[in-house]
A and B are shown apart, each in its own frame.
Chain A
């Protein structure tokens, strides 16, 4: 039994007093707010702690402008994959093939651009088309034939790795023309000048902060208008200030290095788009419904097959985006490209709070999960920790993250 307010009392309340009550609930229940969102807020706290820890252990090198830029460039493709993966996982599936798809799409692009001499964007478009085709293939087997995604994508992992070898004829291709390389290694710098730092990067940072504040405020106003509980106003301000400070610090550091990485713009657009898609569109909501209770979704008229199909098409598309970024960054295509990427993407989604049983997870959570992995890898590399130890640590973090999730769920289950 949760403690429930008496509904009759609420009905009689005037809008003003209800509003006040709503505000009041927010203030007085900071603790419940925190505990209820522990699952979500927990990873943010963990992220901050991990960043602080490695910043100290690397004598601040971790947060140096050059290194921050490096982290962005180095892990962007994993984050792109994690966006698609968290959607797959929310729907209760898994995709083990994304590493192979990264390799295949990169290879197709490389063959066209490097071997055949097509211009750079032909390669990109071809990669995206291949990615969508791969997604449609896997979506067909999962959605319409009803084979578990684990099997379909395990087969896909072998299948697309084999096709990569075929396409590349077992050799590496290199180098890409400079336009293609700019996708992953290019920067927007000096567009509107600056003294020793890039004003444009700071401007984009400021716009992002403003956007975050405005959209947060609008949601809040709407919630209050509909008498929904919200966090207290000081808490809201504190949250906006904290997030704003982090973004601006990040932008400031980037501005002092090489400016705004193009890949960060791509990533930012994708994160924004998919956050909205998962939260605010019918498609997104149906993904959560399918993962939360498949039968109930079916009996509520959700076209489960169609939704599942498009989930995999989307995963294929994002794998192709990651394939382009990776091939651009490594300046070529290799038969072994993208090996084990799927595991990093899956780990990012789970560390970011996605539930093993489906129905729970967020794009932003997966991004933070991916960044936790990224900061740990990068930090340990800076400290010169052996590869073997790095692997052990990452494995343990994944395990603990999911254990924490399960512990939380159990606690939530008994407390009612």
Chain B
């Protein structure tokens, strides 16, 4: 019994009309890294919310035994007082406060008279930072740190609360490979210090690498718990548990038959909007009809910045360079002009930049090309419904109606709405920035299939992705980007992850 730190039994949680969790069991041993896998909507986050008291005791059925006693948390403060700390996927840091202020937020180091003792706070923060391996001054505002470092600040914050059970929800989703590796290392070290860790992740590669056991959820139920020390648990094995079937292949097959060049940029240079440095430096690339071109780069390499600057100069300042569409030089000075030239950009952050979540599917699909549906400023509502229904059918958007608000759809279906929007806008070149981020395995496969159909129909597609296997799986050619410069162009037949990574890290010195 002493071996087990946490046991959740028969957890059932219902929301009006939906059962999110049904009779879920989870057993976590002391001092292990326990991964929780499952498709989006499988109930992983809900389970963690039950555990951390976000869903208070009484709002669910079942029993939680923590450290040998049955517990009932009424809020996150209750669970934190017992040493259970959850770090959400969207980091909960206040951008303009310093590292130390963030670490002790809600838990301030008080001195005489109840005033905050900043010397003590900063000193303690510094020692916490060194224990997570972050070399930063505690008075630095958090906004000046990259996502990877912010993640470490979150962990330092958890340590300050004397954490014994650390829950991480998709900790590496926004991190590049170096930062991910660093974070996983840190988790191993924490484990060696006796901190138990529950980790939700879509990245099966890192799960198999780090986890001691894996619990797989599907449709709100526990499917199985796999012990990694048996040594025969592979990614395919986990996927089988998650989807309930074997994926024949991660990536659908496609015969590649590129046509004429659709888009080319030459000597493309973009300056940071506020800082005095080049974000993209003399980049050149092209993409042909019926071709998928990948852009690989570490976080901060300038991938999104490059894409958005091409897309109607929606990022950066003092953009120089030449842009050709079908061999003709064009100046796309605004997003509207870029769309007119057949360029589309599907953002890496659907919810913030891609969709109007409170509007329905219908209005989101037509958002980028209302002109096509209207005459003299009047929108043809019936035609709009027809278009939306066609998109729903063609891209298999799962929704009860096209009048459903997009915010209620799952990530994969939201991404299909984004794609529908650009298809309806008659884009010839689709720049897809992290098209499968936060999407479950089954929906990823669907997105890849859609990409294949697009190129088969003669569209040109540029895929930006942090996941090298994904680029290798869907692209014909891959450009590598490092510190704003194109450092390589590799046909997919010759590319390996190691080779790409080498090119992506080739040019490390600051540009400009």
Residues of A within 8 A of B (CB): 1-5, 7, 11, 222-223, 225-229, 280-283, 285-286, 288-289, 292-293, 295-303, 355, 359-360, 414-416
> Which of A280, A286, A293, A415 meets B381, CB within 8 Å?
A280
Min CB gap A292→B, angstroms: 4
CB-CB < 8 A to B399: which residues of A?
Answer: 2, 4
Contact A286 B396 (CB under 8 A): no
Interface string of B382-401 (1 = CB under 8 A from A): 10011001001100111111
Min CB gap A37→B, angstroms: 11
In the complex, B347 has a CB within 8 A of chain A: yes
In the complex, B357 has a CB within 8 A of chain A: yes
> Which of A292, A299, A359 meets B345, CB within 8 Å?
A299
In the complex, B368 has a CB within 8 A of chain A: yes
State A59–B186 Cα separation when bound (angstroms).
76
CB-CB < 8 A to B356: which residues of A?
Answer: 288-289, 292-293, 296-297, 359
A281 and B400 contact, Cβ closer than 8 Å, known pairs A296-B354, A303-B334:
no
Contact A226 B389 (CB under 8 A): yes
- The size class of the interface chain B forms with chain A is 35 or more
Contact A296 B378 (CB under 8 A): no
- Complex: chain A residue closest to B220, CB-CB: A1
> Which of A2, A298, A303 meets B404, CB within 8 Å?
A2
State A302–B335 Cα separation when bound (angstroms).
8
State A300–B371 Cα separation when bound (angstroms).
12
State A280–B379 Cα separation when bound (angstroms).
5
Given contacts A4-B398, A300-B367, A414-B16, 17 further A-B contacts (CB under 8 A): A1-B20, A3-B17, A4-B400, A281-B379, A282-B378, A285-B363, A288-B363, A292-B359, A293-B356, A296-B353, A298-B335, A299-B347, A299-B353, A300-B368, A300-B421, A301-B338, A355-B358
Total of A-B residue pairs, C-beta within 8 Å: 123
Min CB gap B16→A, angstroms: 4
> Which of B354, B396, B400 meets A5, CB within 8 Å?
B400
| 6 tightest A-B CB contacts, nearest first | A292-B356, A300-B368, A301-B336, A226-B385, A300-B367, A293-B356
Contact A416 B408 (CB under 8 A): yes
CB-CB < 8 A to B338: which residues of A?
Answer: 301
> Which of A1, A229, A295, A302 meets B18, CB within 8 Å?
A1
Min CB gap B32→A, angstroms: 31
In the complex, B330 has a CB within 8 A of chain A: no
CB-CB < 8 A to A300: which residues of B?
Answer: 335, 367-368, 421
Contact A295 B378 (CB under 8 A): no
CB-CB < 8 A to B400: which residues of A?
Answer: 2-5
CB-CB < 8 A to B421: which residues of A?
Answer: 300
State A34–B103 Cα separation when bound (angstroms).
46
A226 and B392 contact, Cβ closer than 8 Å, known pairs A1-B41, A282-B379:
no
CB-CB < 8 A to B18: which residues of A?
Answer: 1-3, 415-416
CB-CB < 8 A to B377: which residues of A?
Answer: 281-283
Contact B368 A301 (CB under 8 A): yes
- Complex: chain B residue closest to A35, CB-CB: B16
Contact B353 A281 (CB under 8 A): no
Residues of B416-449 at the interface with A, using a CB-CB cut-off of 8 Å, are 421, 425
- Complex: chain A residue closest to B337, CB-CB: A301
CB-CB < 8 A to B385: which residues of A?
Answer: 222-223, 226, 228
A299 and B401 contact, Cβ closer than 8 Å, known pairs A226-B386, A293-B356:
no
State A35–B417 Cα separation when bound (angstroms).
26
Min CB gap B497→A, angstroms: 31
Min CB gap B288→A, angstroms: 25
Contact A292 B357 (CB under 8 A): yes
- Complex: chain A residue closest to B400, CB-CB: A4
- Complex: chain A residue closest to B308, CB-CB: A299
CB-CB < 8 A to B396: which residues of A?
Answer: 7
CB-CB < 8 A to A415: which residues of B?
Answer: 15-18
Contact B403 A229 (CB under 8 A): yes
CB-CB < 8 A to A227: which residues of B?
Answer: 389
Contact A7 B398 (CB under 8 A): yes
Contact A299 B15 (CB under 8 A): no
State A414–B355 Cα separation when bound (angstroms).
20
Min CB gap A274→B, angstroms: 14
CB-CB < 8 A to A298: which residues of B?
Answer: 314, 335
State A288–B399 Cα separation when bound (angstroms).
22
In the complex, B374 has a CB within 8 A of chain A: yes
State A4–B402 Cα separation when bound (angstroms).
12
Contact B15 A414 (CB under 8 A): yes
> Which of B359, B389, B401, B425 meets A229, CB within 8 Å?
B401
Of the A-B pairs whose beta carbons lie under 8 Å apart in the complex, a sample of 18, sorted by A's number, is A3-B17, A3-B400, A226-B382, A228-B402, A229-B401, A280-B378, A281-B377, A281-B378, A281-B379, A282-B378, A286-B370, A293-B352, A295-B353, A299-B335, A299-B354, A301-B312, A355-B358, A416-B15
Interface string of B26-44 (1 = CB under 8 A from A): 0000000000000001000
Min CB gap B311→A, angstroms: 8
CB-CB < 8 A to A293: which residues of B?
Answer: 352-353, 355-357
State A227–B389 Cα separation when bound (angstroms).
9
Min CB gap B396→A, angstroms: 6
Residues of B340-379 at the interface with A, using a CB-CB cut-off of 8 Å, are 345, 347, 352-359, 363, 366-368, 370-371, 374, 377-379
Residues of B3-35 at the interface with A, using a CB-CB cut-off of 8 Å, are 15-18, 20
CB-CB < 8 A to B20: which residues of A?
Answer: 1
CB-CB < 8 A to A7: which residues of B?
Answer: 392-393, 396-398
CB-CB < 8 A to A1: which residues of B?
Answer: 18, 20, 41, 410
CB-CB < 8 A to B401: which residues of A?
Answer: 228-229
State A297–B353 Cα separation when bound (angstroms).
8
CB-CB < 8 A to B366: which residues of A?
Answer: 285
Min CB gap A293→B, angstroms: 4
State A303–B17 Cα separation when bound (angstroms).
40
Min CB gap A297→B, angstroms: 7
CB-CB < 8 A to B371: which residues of A?
Answer: 282
Min CB gap A18→B, angstroms: 11
Min CB gap B313→A, angstroms: 12
CB-CB < 8 A to A302: which residues of B?
Answer: 336, 367
Contact A359 B336 (CB under 8 A): no
State A11–B394 Cα separation when bound (angstroms).
11
State A224–B179 Cα separation when bound (angstroms).
53
State A228–B382 Cα separation when bound (angstroms).
10
CB-CB < 8 A to A359: which residues of B?
Answer: 356, 358-359
In the complex, B339 has a CB within 8 A of chain A: yes
State A296–B354 Cα separation when bound (angstroms).
5
Min CB gap B416→A, angstroms: 12
Min CB gap B433→A, angstroms: 11
Min CB gap A355→B, angstroms: 8
Min CB gap A14→B, angstroms: 15
Min CB gap B69→A, angstroms: 29
State A416–B399 Cα separation when bound (angstroms).
13
- Complex: chain A residue closest to B371, CB-CB: A282
State A225–B386 Cα separation when bound (angstroms).
10
- Complex: chain B residue closest to A292, CB-CB: B356
